Amino acid sequence: MAKKDKAQKAASGGALSSHVAVSQLITFLTRMPELDETLRKAGISRHKLRTLLTDDEIYQACETRFDALNGVPIKLEPSEGDAADFLFAQIEKHMDAITSTAFEGRLFGYAVAEFVADVDDQNRIGCGWFGLKPMQWFEPRPDGTLRYFPDNGRSSMDGLPVDQDSKFCLIRCKATWERPHGEALLSRLYWPWYFRTHGWQFWAKFLERFGSPILVGEAEDTKQMVEALLAAHGSAALGVPIDSKVTAIGAGSGNSNAFEAFESALLRRIQKVVLGQTLTSGTDGGSGNRALGNVHNDVRMDKRNSDLKLVQQAAQLFVDVLCHWNGWERHVVSFGDERGLEEARAKRDKDLHEIGVRFTRKYLEDEYNLRAEDFEIEAVADNRASTPVQASLPTNRALTFADDGTQFTPEQQEVETLADDTLERNNTPIPRAAIFAAIDAAEDEADMAKRLMRLIEQYGQSGQFADEMAGALFVAEVMGYVHSELGK
């Protein structure tokens, strides 16, 4: 049996079509244990990481990263037709939910959203509702499947299989076989959040105790002295007998600075995890602000592009479901540059324009996020003296390579005559008779190509063939310029 046949047989029903390296322990468990090291040590469930978003610093850092995803134009391929128009409208309607699903997957490792269908007056099936469902109801498996565990007890211990083709959307961040739940960004912030939260509680108790000094009085009647000291907290003055003594115990001068250093260290750690950098307004030396701003912007774009991959994945799943419902061909989702001219593309298009390339209105609308009513395209005369390009064909005639029996124009006939004269010269490297003989003797197209290549090798050893060809092309190009200037 051939190797290919053996491989096909093994793939159809053997070990090649299933996983071999698996954990037998996980196989016998109804639900997979939490595999994130931080969450396992902290003893909390993954969905309870949402508590971290109640911290003002963590929430604002996540919002800054989320806001960077807005305003990036989305594209579809194919981009024209009724199906594309309908898909664009559906994406625009649910774009916030699509972005939120992708970003939740980044924060928690995975996110699950559900589709609810809706039929319009043209019998097109659209999405009436699309949104996140509680992640604790679902569990991703290492093989990419998704299980649903309803709270009504109607499912088995292994949960219910979830339809990911037409009902549910699963987004996972950096998921592997060992970590099917994905990588949760918020799990990296658990200990900074824990210490910051308890640090503020300790600081509040510290201020409650040492916000005003502790008064210590020395007197024979201690009960009367205590009552007098308690009253002193509400008044500015205290009178005591001449034989009594009052002293104040306050906090050390370094306690406030210690808490500020503690808080600053935690804030820098939170910003570094979420934003990839500490967003200081300047440098320690007071210089290099422009370079620092460029670095901040580069890091911001790196994070944004990383999150856009998850948004693109969610949008693609959204479009795939709609195409599946309506029986349309698959439309591919991609994202363009943020609003405005993207520097590298603008420079490239400028260079192409200078050598004669002209872009269509559709290209300008798609690539630069322009509206058709916002710009006009003016005819620009070609400056051939500074930009030598090939002569353009007359615009009132369609370009075709088919032999439809039409006659050449007088100008085209001049070029054809030039080519015939070149071939008829006695010093032409390849005789016409030899070319016809090779074509007649060929058995098929491949054989004809080989025979013609042998003729080129046989007659084209000297530089005469190249000289003749270069001369003919030069004359034809000059004729094209002349005919174009004359409007022919």
Mean pLDDT of all residues in the chain? 76
Per-residue DSSP letters for 12-78?
HHSGGGS--S--HHHHH-SSPPP--HHHHHHT--GGGGGGGGGSHHHHHHHHHHHHTTTTPPEEEES
**Residue 23: which pLDDT band, with cuts at 50, 70 and 90?**
low
Which residues sit opposite 161 in a β-bridge? Answer: 147
- The C-alpha angle with vertex 347 and arms to 346 and 352, in degrees rounded to 5, equals 95
Please classify residue 239 by burial: count the beta carbons closer than 10 Å to its beta carbon, then call 0-12 exposed, 13-18 middle and 19+ buried.
Answer: exposed
Average of pLDDT values for 160-175?
92
C-alpha 96/C-alpha 329 separation (Å) is: 25
Largest CA distance in the chain: 137
DSSP, collapsed to helix, strand or coil, labels residue 463 as coil
**Residue 385: which pLDDT band, with cuts at 50, 70 and 90?**
very low
- Higher-confidence residue of 87 and 28: namely 87
- Higher-confidence residue of 232 and 146: namely 146
* % of the chain with per-residue pLDDT over 70: 62
Instruction: Say if residue 370's pLDDT is above 90.
Output: no
Alpha carbon of residue 292 to chain centroid: 25
What was the pLDDT predicted at 393? 41
DSSP, collapsed to helix, strand or coil, labels residue 432 as helix
Alpha carbon of residue 27 to chain centroid: 35
C-alpha 74/C-alpha 256 separation (Å) is: 50
Alpha carbon of residue 204 to chain centroid: 43
Running DSSP on this structure, what letter comes out for residue 130?
E
What is the chain's Cα-based Rg? 38
| pLDDT tens-place string over residues 235-285 | 555 556 666 666 666 665 556 688 888 889 999 999 999 988 775 544 444
CB 54 within 8 A of CB 308: no
- Kindly give the pairing relationship between strand 160-161 and strand 168-172: unpaired
Beta strand extents in 186-298 (DSSP E only):
214-218, 245-249
Question: How many residues are given for the chain?
Answer: 488
- Higher-confidence residue of 131 and 224: namely 131
Q: Closest Cα to residue 74, out of 303, 275, 314, 306?
A: 314
At a CB cut-off of 8 Å and minimum separation 6, what does 326 contact? 83, 124, 125
Instruction: Say if residue 27's pLDDT is above 60.
Output: no
Question: Which residue type does 101 have?
Answer: T
**Residue 223: which pLDDT band, with cuts at 50, 70 and 90?**
confident
- Please state, as a whole number, how many other Cβ atoms lie within 10 Å of the Cβ of residue 49: 24
Instruction: Say if residue 317's pLDDT is above 90.
Output: yes
Instruction: Say if residue 178's pLDDT is above 50.
Output: yes
Q: Cis before residue 431, ω within 30 degrees of 0?
A: no
C-alpha 74/C-alpha 369 separation (Å) is: 10
H-type alpha helices, 233-391: 255-275, 289-326, 343-354, 361-367
Average of pLDDT values for 137-159?
84
Which residues sit opposite 217 in a β-bridge? Answer: 246
| pLDDT tens-place string over residues 410-467 | 766 776 676 666 655 545 567 777 777 888 888 887 788 788 777 776 765 555 555 6
**Residue 103: which pLDDT band, with cuts at 50, 70 and 90?**
very high
Average of pLDDT values for 190-203?
90
**Which tokens hold the place of 129?**
């509702």
Average of pLDDT values for 312-316?
94
Average of pLDDT values for 87-107?
94
C-alpha 124/C-alpha 127 separation (Å) is: 10
DSSP, collapsed to helix, strand or coil, labels residue 218 as strand
Beta strand extents in 85-239 (DSSP E only):
110-119, 125-133, 138-140, 146-148, 160-161, 168-172, 214-218
DSSP, collapsed to helix, strand or coil, labels residue 211 as coil
- For the beta sheet containing 125-133, the strands, ordered from the edge strand earlier in sequence to the opposite edge, are 125-133, 110-119, 168-172
C-alpha 105/C-alpha 310 separation (Å) is: 8
